[in-house]
Structure 1
Amino acid sequence: MNANVLPSKPHYQILDGLRGVAALIVVTFHIFEAHATSHLTQIINHGYLAVDFFFLLSGYVISYAYDDRWQKMSIGNFFRRRLERLQPMVIMGMIIGAACFYFSDSPALFPNIHNVELWKVLLTMLVGFTLLPIPVSMDIRGWQELHPLDGPGWSLFYEYIANILYGLGIRRFSKGLLTALVVLSAAALMHYTITSASGDIIGGWSLTPEQIKIGFIRMMFPFFGGLLLARVTKPVHIKNAFLWASLLLAVVLFMPRIGGADHLWANGLYEALAIIFVFPLIVYLGAGGQTHSIKENKICKFLGDISYPIYITHYPFIYIYTGWAYDNRGASLSQAIGYGLLTFAVSVLVGYASLKLYDEPIRAWLKKKSLT
């Protein structure tokens, strides 16, 4: 049987909803981040941990969706299915990023962007379509990002690496071998967060040795921890799981900085414990829960549908908002709130429009092509 015609499995509706909750918190975190003077003064201080939650959720869902299909599915078909799911929105994110870059104006924060030739912007966009990382020498923004037009592309780069590792070999790991890998990855994660100079796990978005190390640390435990969680646990029904899991996720991500500048290790320990223990608990609760009304089901579906489009398209608007905040540091609170709410609304609307007008039609076309 051709793997491309394998029937889709039912979705974990609550896990879809939790992905959307995390995506909306990420947008809010990035808006507030524009006003932070340092990593110690962020308003939604641990919003960046949503990326680590996404990795763990992805590992869990990959195990559920594919572990029992390898007798009927080739590695090539697995990679094709993953590309069909993820790559269209990567391309859209880069297109939006290129347009926002070329037409943005922030002389204080990005003083050189109007000196960047159009061909360099287009080349960066085309490379971004492939998700191949941009070396620091080709950075056109000045933030040393893997993808200067759409910063969150870095996490998709590591998501693809995780999928490649899974498809090429780790899918065959026994529970014992996978447990050993996850335990070692957890130890590396905890060691880094506790001993890091910044006292957190922020990073992974630059093509430098230190940032590459952070990227792999952030990907290895959550993704393969999620894989292990799916293999060794059976979901247990939890009443009001979406509500409780959403609240717990929000508490983790909204938690203020711990320890301050004098005890950076304390914040690192908090982040390690959140990723290693609390995030798996949240996913476990979500996987065991069920929606109890048509309204709750629609909410979870809507949040799940828009989560990835919002995540991969919102950051070009964050560049613009951050530039405005930097250039207008004396602006009133009402102005900041107004522009912040506008940025949030635009991010959600563009994400939803991208989903309905581009992503769903493209994926439907690709699916149809794969069946012919």
Structure 2
Amino acid sequence: MDTNKLLQTKQHFDILDGLRGVAALSVVVFHFMEWVYADLSMNFIAHGFLAVDFFFCLSGFVIGYAYDDRIAGMGVREFFKARAIRLHPLVILGSVLGLLAFLFDPFGGHPEAYSTGKIVLAFVCSMLLIPLPVIADRGFNLFSFNAPSWSLFWEYVANIVYALVLCRLKRGYLVALTIVAGGALCFVAYRSGNLLGGWSGPTFWDGSARIAYSFMAGLLIYRSNWIIRNQLGFVGLSVLLFLAFIMPFTAWAWVTEPLVVLFYFPLLIALGAGATLKPGLRKICQLSGKISYPLYMTHYAVLWMFGNYYTTHKPDNVQLTFIVIAATLVLVGVAYLVMVLYDMPVRKYLNAKRSAALRFDDHPSLRAADDKLTVAGRDKGQEVI
């Protein structure tokens, strides 16, 4: 194994990083407004949940870019290690925060209605990404203490399928599978009336259709080099992405939502990969990308407390506007602290251990030198959730 090649980094698609941050922020706002407007036709960001499909498509593109040319050299086991180090620390922290919110919510909830054994089992399953929709007070989410983990479950599945099958698949077969997955996505939308499923027990398999099409579409964009050079920039593409999230929710959602996922999001990925970024916005895009995953994985504990507060206190529109804006800003700040104080240090430590093990396996005589190795540069490569 060529360890130097395995540990090398690649450049960022900075605008795609920035768009990931826009999508994560949209999810947070959607989850707040979801409590206020159970009727999505009244929600100004009614399609914020489609940000997950954008994440899936972006993930397929970046996984192909980051690993297609080196997974054969690194091997499946090392690929899985790399992905677990990237993804799982925040899966664990999100579960811990969700458990604390469940037990100590000052605005409501009924933790006393559940046995200690049931709570512990739900918590362990949440940390291990084992679906267990058994907590009624959490809407029977697949992962009771951190609802957004449902998409991480399918992200893991996609990564496994990529490492075992898709990384070797010729382009023609990938096209065929993507078309089949697109048909499955349309069927799910027609049957359910929309693409909102995947997060709960009854809608579990809807998530497989959402990840299958979008992940393979992103991978296909990379392998086909469907990069569209343009001058839209980060701001222009952010507006185009946000338009998908504020698209009105109507009885035709079973048609409009698949169209967005099948065609619009892949187009935005192709445009984002080829757009020119103004130098002054580079740091903003990079920070947006880095903070997106911590924000996505830590915000939902607060959402349950907000929901209980809203249900019991019924704040007026002025109070509600202030609360949502203030809470969103606080969540962004918390996500930044989580990134700096937890996620990055933990990943740096785990990557250093992995690097040392790799170099020791390849060159046993370098054990002493390995103790001094770091992989501080690893996090400079393109990151995905």
TM-score, with normalisation over the residues of structure 2? 0.88
Q: Does 1:206 align with 2:200?
A: yes
| Secondary structure of the corresponding residue to residue 204 of structure 1 | coil
Residues in 2 aligned to 1:60 and 1:24: alpha-carbon distance in whole angstroms: 21
- Cα offset, 1:140, TM superposition: 5.6
Q: 2:174 aligns with which of 172, 178, 181?
A: 178
In the alignment, what sits opposite 2:296?
Answer: 311
Residues in 1 aligned to 2:239 and 2:322: alpha-carbon distance in whole angstroms: 26
Which one is further off, 334-343 or 249-258?
Answer: 334-343
Residues in 1 aligned to 2:143 and 2:234: alpha-carbon distance in whole angstroms: 34
Q: Which runs of no fewer than 5 residues in structure 1 stay unpaired? A: 259-263
Residues in 2 aligned to 1:350 and 1:124: alpha-carbon distance in whole angstroms: 25
Percentage of pairs with the same residue: 36
Residues in 1 aligned to 2:278 and 2:334: alpha-carbon distance in whole angstroms: 30
The amino acid of 1:344's aligned partner reads T
The amino acid of 2:262's aligned partner reads I
- Cα offset, 1:251, TM superposition: 0.4
| Secondary structure of the corresponding residue to residue 42 of structure 2 | coil
Question: 1:187-336 counterparts in 2 under 5 A?
Answer: 187-193=183-189, 195-197=190-192, 199-208=193-202, 211-258=203-250, 264=251, 266-293=252-279, 295-329=280-314, 331-336=315-320
* Cα contact 2:221–2:227 (8 A) shared by 1: no
Question: 1:1-372 counterparts in 2 under 5 A?
Answer: 1-2=2-3, 5-107=6-108, 110=109, 112-118=110-116, 120-134=118-132, 136=133, 138-139=134-135, 141-193=137-189, 195-197=190-192, 199-208=193-202, 211-258=203-250, 264=251, 266-293=252-279, 295-329=280-314, 331-372=315-356
- Cα offset, 1:244, TM superposition: 2.0
Residues in 2 aligned to 1:82 and 1:315: alpha-carbon distance in whole angstroms: 23
| Secondary structure of the corresponding residue to residue 41 of structure 2 | coil
- Cα offset, 1:125, TM superposition: 2.2
* Cα contact 1:245–1:286 (8 A) shared by 2: yes
The amino acid of 1:47's aligned partner reads G
CA 1:119–1:9: 2 relative to 1, 3 Å: same
Residues in 2 aligned to 1:57 and 1:246: alpha-carbon distance in whole angstroms: 14
1:272-311 Cα shifts (integer Å, max 9, x gaps): 1100110011111110123221x30011011001000000
Which one is further off, 150-159 or 282-291?
Answer: 282-291
Residues in 2 aligned to 1:343 and 1:298: alpha-carbon distance in whole angstroms: 24
Residues in 1 aligned to 2:149 and 2:4: alpha-carbon distance in whole angstroms: 28
Residues in 1 aligned to 2:159 and 2:152: alpha-carbon distance in whole angstroms: 10
Cα RMSD after superposing both structures: 1.7
- Cα offset, 1:232, TM superposition: 0.7
- Cα offset, 1:196, TM superposition: 2.5
The amino acid of 2:275's aligned partner reads G
* Cα contact 2:138–2:145 (8 A) shared by 1: no
Residues in 1 aligned to 2:84 and 2:5: alpha-carbon distance in whole angstroms: 13
Q: Which runs of no fewer than 5 residues in structure 2 stay unpaired? A: 357-385
The amino acid of 2:142's aligned partner reads L
| Secondary structure of the corresponding residue to residue 44 of structure 1 | coil
- Cα offset, 1:3, TM superposition: 7.5
Which one is further off, 2-11 or 238-247?
Answer: 2-11
Residues in 2 aligned to 1:60 and 1:216: alpha-carbon distance in whole angstroms: 18
Residues in 1 aligned to 2:38 and 2:85: alpha-carbon distance in whole angstroms: 40
Residues in 2 aligned to 1:189 and 1:64: alpha-carbon distance in whole angstroms: 25
CA 1:323–1:3: 2 relative to 1, 3 Å: farther
1:213-268 Cα shifts (integer Å, max 9, x gaps): 2111111100111111111124243113312211110001111113xxxxx2x221
In the alignment, what sits opposite 2:360?
Answer: none
* Cα contact 1:205–1:215 (8 A) shared by 2: yes
* Cα contact 1:321–1:343 (8 A) shared by 2: no
- Cα offset, 1:345, TM superposition: 2.0
* Cα contact 2:6–2:73 (8 A) shared by 1: no
Which one is further off, 71-80 or 227-236?
Answer: 227-236
1:34-82 Cα shifts (integer Å, max 9, x gaps): 1113233222110000000000000000000001113311000000000
The amino acid of 2:124's aligned partner reads L
TM-score, with normalisation over the residues of structure 1? 0.91
* Cα contact 2:141–2:200 (8 A) shared by 1: yes
| Secondary structure of the corresponding residue to residue 207 of structure 1 | coil
Residues in 1 aligned to 2:256 and 2:225: alpha-carbon distance in whole angstroms: 25
1:120-169 Cα shifts (integer Å, max 9, x gaps): 434322221111111x3x32635111111110000000000010111111
